[in-house]
Chain A
């Protein structure tokens, strides 16, 4: 497999995950499986992506692992994220072992609790996550789809904040106070489904995209990066992968960012 030049990879900013660099643009693998997932990950890696996002629930960790085995990008340059589903409470270590085996790796860079189990913080699971990190099986631990109250409950019980909170996040979801609260806790906000809740035909997005000679999708990615938000994008098509990755080169002005911020509360013009 061809190893790309570092130029496109180097475009992607990173977040400091408590000493570990996390690329702010990642390649999401849901809902691909089997050979399609393997091929897509290989294409993503050759395009310049270095963060690969999967989950136990996606049932594609083996396919992602096949790609990791085939690529000539060194493991040390990759950032692999996976997630434990809420129905595996009490089976944390077994779940992680299964993920590591399927992925063919000795560690994952980021292990997330995919959803709060039963709406609870999941403190018993969180303790197991901490233990797995201390044993070197995961480099960083975090959560997904968590509210601030639940995050604080984890901290209150263990003294440990998650390093990342991944959730649906795009211009239609923008909540400055939530993002700010995460920053104060040194938690990286990570966006999945950045386009789902956003009106892609919104005139502000269309005008800003036209001004930069880009598409609306790329503007949404660039807007997230401007806020220091990690973005997981997914596409099986090389051209789309490339456009998403090169979104990092779009420099939005403060005024443009403010217009996009205002979409969520309906005041953007």
Chain B
């Protein structure tokens, strides 16, 4: 049942074209990482490449507030999975990278996970589970649906204590992860970020709500990227 009285997400998020352009910038950053991933690569060089590519595409700054332990990068890209002693990528660790550029003050968001050697069965299974649960989350983000039901859809699909997700309000002045019991509804024209994780796998997307449902804007792969 749709709770029509529930408040909608910040109306600033309805600037669809600007949001699409910001998401496109995240996709540019995704490409700048993915094309240059290889064993031994210094993550500082990846960050520099993202900076160059993003600037060339019209971007300048980033917005991500989180700098968790073990993270490397700049304010445009955050990378996990490198050897902390050398800042270099290894064949054994999956690489998680989040792109979080700003374009004229509008946030773009994307994240992907890649492996540089054939993954073990456990990691591959985590990737498949995260993909399926992310798909369930996106499927539940229907016009008028409660955000908390989208959270529940992810949980039901993942059924994993190492899984989690967030729906992120990307509007000004700060980006915040909306609470899991959020009683607001997603309405066409609004843009949110989604972030999902199962074990070592992480995805994120910039999502536009349309009358037909959730439309990914950055269109980065919501699956484990296998590069070998």
Contact = CB atoms under 8 A, between A and B. Distances in A.
Interface residues of A, number: 15
B114 A118 contact: yes
B225 A120 contact: no
Interface string A201-218: 000000000000000000
A119 B225 contact: no
Interface stretch (B33-41, B128-136, B182-190): B33-41
A121 to B, nearest CB: 10
Contact of B38 (A85, A87, A119): A119
A59 B28 CA distance: 12
Interface in A77-125: 85-87, 89-90, 114-120
A227 interface: no
B221 interface: yes
A87 B114 CA distance: 9
Sorting the interface of chain B by its residue count into under 10, 10 to 19, 20 to 34 or 35 or more gives: 10 to 19
Contacts of B8: none
Interface string A120-139: 10000000000000000000
A87 B228 contact: no
Contact of A89 (B31, B35, B117, B228): B228
Nearest to A124: B228
Contacts of A119: 37-39, 41, 116, 227
Contacts of B116: 118-120
Contacts, number: 43
Interface in B15-39: 31, 34-35, 37-39
Contacts of B112: 87
Contacts of A145: 35
A87 B35 CA distance: 8
Contacts of B114: 87, 118
B181 interface: no
Of B34, B114, B228, most A-chain CB atoms within 10 Å: B228
Contacts of A57: 31
A87 B219 CA distance: 12
Given A118-B116, A119-B41, A90 B35 contact: no
The majority secondary structure among interface residues of chain A is loop
B31 A118 contact: no
Contacts of B3: none
B31 A120 contact: no
A85 B31 CA distance: 9
B172 interface: no
Interface string B216-228: 0001010001111
A153 to B, nearest CB: 13
A4 to B, nearest CB: 33
A120 B35 contact: no
Contacts of B221: 87
Nearest to B95: A118
Nearest to A121: B228
Nearest to B117: A118
A87 B39 contact: no
Nearest to B220: A87
Nearest to B225: A87
17 contacts: A59-B219, A85-B34, A85-B35, A86-B34, A87-B225, A89-B228, A114-B35, A116-B38, A117-B227, A117-B228, A118-B38, A118-B117, A118-B227, A119-B41, A119-B116, A120-B227, A120-B228
Interface of A: 57, 59, 85-87, 89-90, 114-120, 145
5 nearest CB pairs, A to B? A119-B38, A118-B227, A115-B35, A117-B227, A118-B116
Given A85-B31, A119-B39, 6 more contacts: A86-B34, A87-B221, A87-B227, A118-B37, A119-B37, A120-B228
